[in-house]
Chains A and B, each alone.
Chain A
Amino acid sequence: MDNRRSVPDILAGAIFAGIGLAFVVASLGYELGTPLRMGPGYFPLVVGGILVLLGLGIVVKGLVAGEAIEWGPVPWRSMLLIVVALVFFGLTLRRAGFLPAVFVTALLTAFASYRIKPVTAVMVAAGLTGMSILIFIVGLQLRLPLFGPWLTF
């Protein structure tokens, strides 16, 4: 650990301070009360304040004596695809039904890998859909229709 600036430290500190500040500001909108009878805002205000201080502390430490952290690549495409897959799942499960929702979610997720071939991805998605139906619908009796109102006539 040599004395130097560390971007990850500064970033982490900024995230902490930012979230802490958001909670502090929001807490002020609730009744604070007194230490004897704390209102809903009291405790989050204090903890939020602590988080802001810790975050600033991490930023300062990152400026003067940061931790050496190996950064490495960020898989932006994978992140986007997995988020989209989860949102898609949440949006369509009820409407399109279990089978299509799971299949598309699995397919989108599979493409989050940079190395997967399209054919393999489709096979993985199909296999996963079958397994999910067996485990959750047949095995655990989850009450979800295989095909939802969008696909049944």
Chain B
Amino acid sequence: MLDNLALGLETAFQLENVLYCLLGVVLGTAVGVLPGIGPTATIAMLLPITFSLEPIPALIMLAGIYYGAQYGGSTTAILINLPGESSAAVTAIDGHEMARQGRAGPALAAAALGSFFAGTVATVVLAVFAPPLARAALEFGSAEYFSLVVLGLIASIALARGSALKALAMIALGVLLGTVGQDIYTGTPRFTLGARELFGGLDFVSVAVGVFGVAEILRNLENETTRSAFVERVKNLWPSRDDFRRIVGPVVRGTGLGSLLGVLPGGGHVLASFASYSVEKRLSSTPERFGHGAIEGVAAPESANNAAAQTSFIPLLTLGLPAHPVMALMIGAFIVQGITPGPNVINEQPALFWGLIASMWIGNLLLVLLNLPLIGLWVRMLAIPYQWLFPAIVVFAAIGTYSLSFNSFDVYAVAVFGVLGYALIKCGCEPAPLLLGFVLGPLLEEHLRRALIISRGDASVFFTRPISAVLLALAVGALVVSVLPAIRRKREEVFVDDD
């Protein structure tokens, strides 16, 4: 493993890669700070651009955007009670309270240091657990893959918030949209409505940009408010001795919880931050301080969501399965570069695999070094009015989508999915399961059909092969958990907590 890490560090420390890592985390922090633009839309927009880069810097940069956004989201949550990212929502509870008491500095420092610790540990977790998992995955046949995808899709509902029925429907819709285009086995064009452009299937970037970019903009335009950009000067960054003593435990526990939950499909990092907050509150000898500026309430969720952001790369790099939409976009990025994400990456592209992992640690270091001194700058970015910002998103999305295959059709698809996505979000449907279904749908169909051909049409193959059976049993369990009302209520509690 040391050899591998050395290879990774050597790759990641090449000047070009460090620069792209820096670019990624800076961009990520920026979109994390700005409410209304998330990492999903940003990565979707930048995906076509990465086409012109080498695979390693491209992936390092995209990964940087993702975990950089987790950092940026917490900054605004603390300073102005506006979580830029859903995973930072819980940070705002105590973080903003601390800021109001004039302790914004220690809150920001606790978030940054906690995140850095979590990022470092999670990187090691990734380096230790990914290779054996990838080896195990190499033994997987089509039956196992099918069951694994089913589990992944179902589990994403169990962990997400909101109605399970709607999330299931969103997945099914995504899977159906994924069937558009030529059938893999017979070459028959399906659901193309006679449009040649659809033979290759709907473009993933169009769907992602529409659902996460345009739909989100429409959502924000419902109620245009002028943001209060007034922020007090941040002084006294360094936490006191007492603060340090308080946050050690929460940071360590948050990291553990986050590393674990991050691997699971669905909004693992969101759940991780909420769950770790509840845990700390329950363990605390002074739970009444929570909600009134307890530094533990900042350190724990921030550590947890950063750890989860890191370990959510495990299923992607070892199984080729995305844990959530951003990872689905990363799959797109791998494919754009001509690499099939999955268990083979580690052997066929060791420099890429280990370089990516090592770059995450470097990226976390850069984030601490950059963000604490530059907090003033990030805050000033909030003064940019939304009216300037959203036209930029639309224009960059249009150019980016077009440049993917120089086809106007993809741009029209953005408009269609923007409107459809907006309608569905308005009706209380979360967009993430749709994108997961869309990405995983073709895999689901391919492995289902192949498994049945190999077993000569005997569907029992999914239950007689032990690994497949276990995975399906887990999927059924996850389904029951997400539908049963009693357990659902418990789950809502974790998300709502008391504020």
Contact = CB atoms under 8 A, between A and B. Distances in A.
Contacts of A47: 172, 175-176, 179, 441
Given A30-B188, A72-B223, A115-B387, A16 B412 contact: no
A43 B391 contact: no
A91 interface: yes
A69 to B, nearest CB: 4
B183 A40 contact: yes
B230 interface: no
Interface stretch (B236-244, B263-271, B419-427): B419-427
Nearest to A61: B165
B221 A112 contact: yes
Given A75-B221, A109-B395, A51 B388 contact: no
Contact of B390 (A15, A38, A113, A114): A113
Interface residues of B, number: 63
B172 A43 contact: no
Interface string A70-96: 011111001100110111011101100
A63 interface: no
Interface in B428-448: 428-429, 441, 445, 448
Most B CB within 10 A of own CB, among A12, A30, A36, A94: A12
B52 interface: yes
B402 A36 contact: no
Nearest to A38: B449
B360 interface: no
Contacts of A93: 402, 408
A119 interface: no
Contacts of A67: 163, 428
Nearest to A70: B428
Interface string A93-129: 1100000001001100110111110001100110110
B168 A54 contact: yes
A36 B172 contact: no
Contacts of B387: 110, 113, 115-116, 120-121, 124
Interface in A30-78: 30-31, 34-41, 43-44, 47-48, 50-51, 54-55, 57-58, 61, 67, 69, 71-75, 78
Interface in B396-417: 396, 398-399, 402-403, 408-409, 411-412, 414-415
A36 B457 contact: yes
Contacts of A112: 217, 221, 390-391
A125 B395 CA distance: 10
A86 B221 CA distance: 17
A150 B86 CA distance: 46
B173 A51 contact: yes
B391 A109 contact: yes
B218 to A, nearest CB: 6
Interface in A116-153: 116, 120-121, 124-125, 127-128, 131-132, 136, 140-142
Given A54-B165, A82-B217, A43 B449 contact: yes
Contact of A105 (B169, B394, B409, B453): B394
B179 A44 contact: yes
A19 B180 CA distance: 13
A55 B169 contact: yes
B363 interface: no
Interface string A1-37: 0000000110111011001100100100011001111
B394 A48 contact: no
B285 interface: no
A122 B191 CA distance: 41
A35 B217 CA distance: 44
A23 B191 contact: yes
A110 B188 CA distance: 42
B195 to A, nearest CB: 13
20 contacts: A12-B424, A12-B427, A31-B186, A40-B190, A41-B190, A44-B179, A51-B173, A54-B169, A54-B172, A58-B166, A73-B223, A83-B418, A86-B214, A86-B414, A86-B415, A89-B408, A109-B391, A109-B395, A113-B386, A140-B52
7 smallest CB-CB distances across A and B, nearest first, come from A36-B457, A90-B408, A12-B427, A40-B183, A90-B411, A54-B169, A51-B172
Interface of B: 49, 52, 163, 165-166, 168-169, 172-173, 175-176, 179, 183, 185-186, 188, 190-191, 214, 217-218, 221-224, 386-388, 390-392, 394-396, 398-399, 402-403, 408-409, 411-412, 414-415, 418-420, 422-424, 426-429, 441, 445, 448-449, 452-453, 456-457, 459
Given A26-B190, A74-B222, A127-B388, 17 more contacts: A11-B423, A12-B429, A23-B176, A31-B188, A40-B183, A41-B190, A51-B173, A54-B172, A57-B165, A58-B163, A79-B419, A83-B419, A90-B398, A93-B402, A106-B395, A113-B387, A142-B403
